[in-house]
Structure 1
């Protein structure tokens, strides 16, 4: 189940470096490698507050069902899907990372393609002054 990467993505320099290391340690993540190759990389202090960065809390709306939920894109060791902590290596995590509020994330599931709109970035570490998490 690979994520489909549509359009431009924005990553912080720190996220880019950490995720590049993660792909080197985990050869089973070609979708993340594709995202890293296509992303625009900005200094953490320059990333707009409406971008989904690592450890950002985002409100999304499933397009087919219009169900809303709040998720946090996190590193695999911190993932707890039942509590909304979604691994960046998951199709949903890769689908959301680097998008901005208003964008649509798309990813593949066993049943086809799924899609959700990013309604809001509720919390972003960089917007709160945390440039090292």
Structure 2
């Protein structure tokens, strides 16, 4: 299975994230995003579990196999600043993280062909868990 293949029910998105990500498809074709949106479980913002990576969640990842930890915040392309830890949902890493649960392993392929794998070991901040249902 390729790193862009998403199994039905493997990812959970809020209705708002699903809607906003769908609008990104209106601007530009993105087959990986289209497949993810088609396969994801969609829940209301108030119903999404606190252990799911949603848009603007801040997470700690542990690199597989080195165990090295990295913090990042998942954002929309216009807000991306990789050097500051703001990673676009349309990047290989971002696409592999959106909708995953705590403890899941994200896998991606960089444009260089290099493979990456990291476990979601902490969700430091999730907007919905803090009562923000509109960001």
Are the structure 2 counterparts of residues 51 and 32 from structure 1 closer, same or farther at C-alpha, using a change threshold of 3 Å? same
> Contact between 2:127 and 2:133, CA under 8 Å: does it hold in 1?
yes
Q: CA deviation at 1:64?
A: 2.4
Which structure is higher in RCO with an 8 Å CA cutoff and minimum separation 6?
1
- Alpha-carbon RMSD across the aligned residues, in angstroms, is 1.4
Per the alignment, residue 18 of structure 1 pairs with 20
- TM-score, scaled to structure 1: 0.93
Runs of 4+ in 1 over 4 A off after TM superposition: none
Per the alignment, residue 129 of structure 2 pairs with 127
**Unmatched 5+ stretches in structure 2:** none
1:14-93 correspondence to structure 2 within 5 Å: 14-27=16-29, 29-93=30-94
**Unmatched 5+ stretches in structure 1:** none
Residues paired across the two proteins, number: 131
- TM-score, scaled to structure 2: 0.92
